[in-house]
Amino acid sequence: MKKHIAATLLSLALTPAYANPELPDLDIFINEMVQEHDFDRAELETLFAQVEVKDSILKAISRPAEKSKPWYEYRQIFLDQARINAGIAYWKKHEKALARAEAELGVPAEIILAILGVETRFGGNMGSFRVVDALSTLAFRYPPRSPFFRSELKNFLILTREEEMSQLEPVGSYAGAMGLGQFMPSSFREYAVDFDGDGHRDIWTNPTDAIGSIANYLRRHGWQPGETMVHPTQYQGSDLPQDLIDRGLKPSVTREELRKSGLSTADLPEGDDAITVFSLTQPGGEELWLGRQNFYAITRYNHSRMYAMAVIQLSEAIRDGYESSK
């Protein structure tokens, strides 16, 4: 009997303890955090024992992308009057922080506001998933992008330690994007700023920090203060200059190439900077635009020409409404 008990105890001692059996390879991840980032193993095991794997997250990220909407339908999602009015009100409420961000970082208030409006409706929809649940689910249960989300989970744990935050309380999108500006953890650590000087970077409940962080993100991605973003153009002939459009979002087309292609540069300010050429679908056909560095900087927030144009046009509507309300 004693031998049997002893054998059972030995068996239990040799059996690895799993912080959460729903998260494959979690033990390897915890080892990495302990060895590479000096985390406490017991604390991590306690944390991950409380993590919940969410099937809704796996379904959301695995869902086939919906058929892309044409521009004239896409823009209607974001350029609604309620969102414009909310942007005007947000500007009036946070005038000082917006003015300071523009003065110090060179990013216009209306661009910051438009990103806040497109991303979360000025905080009205910041997501409902615990960030640690979202990132853990995708890091350990979604193999196609596991390396990316494991890296983001590492960054999240590090930032909560840096900011002395709870690891269980922060909420965000199903992909782990966080706060008013929907920063991923790696972007938070790289670009978020303590804009009000209280010793913490809080993009969830502190609009001043969120405003400064968005402006800093754009400036660090090449925003050029005082420069324009986009200009309409016309083309000759029936065929789009597809070879120039296919160059992508990063400005790489020279002014000489524009002229040789037959694209009008009449609305483009003089200069020798490279340009990106892109089209937007309107009911009557394709509409051609020329984008400069500031347009490209916005696409670093979301790698989409339609996203960037929604931000630009929403910013114009918010500015017009703000100025007319004075």
Question: Is residue 257 flagged as an active site residue?
Answer: no
Per-position DSSP letters for 29-96, written without gaps between them:
HHHHHHHHH---HHHHHHHHHT----HHHHHHHHSPPPPPPPHHHHHHHH--HHHHHHHHHHHHHTHH
Question: Tokens 């959301």 identify what position?
Answer: 60
| Tokens (6 digits) for 253 | 């087309």
Say which DSSP state 211 is in. H
Which residues face 1 on adjacent strands?
none
CB count in 10 Å sphere of residue 306: 20
Q: Point out the catalytic residue in the list 32, 73, 110, 119.
A: 119
Question: Tokens 């459009």 identify what position?
Answer: 245
What order do you get walking across the sheet with 285-291 strand by strand? 230-233, 285-291, 276-282
Task: Find the DSSP H helices in the chain.
Answer: 2-14, 26-37, 41-49, 55-62, 71-78, 81-93, 95-105, 109-120, 131-141, 146-162, 185-191, 207-220, 242-245, 255-261, 293-299, 305-324
Task: Find the DSSP H helices in 235-304.
Answer: 242-245, 255-261, 293-299
Please report how the helices 26-37 and 146-162 are oriented relative to each other, as an axis angle in degrees rounded to 10: 50
- Report yes or no: 78 and 310 within 8 Å, Cβ to Cβ: yes
CB count in 10 Å sphere of residue 316: 15
Catalytic residue positions, numbered: 119
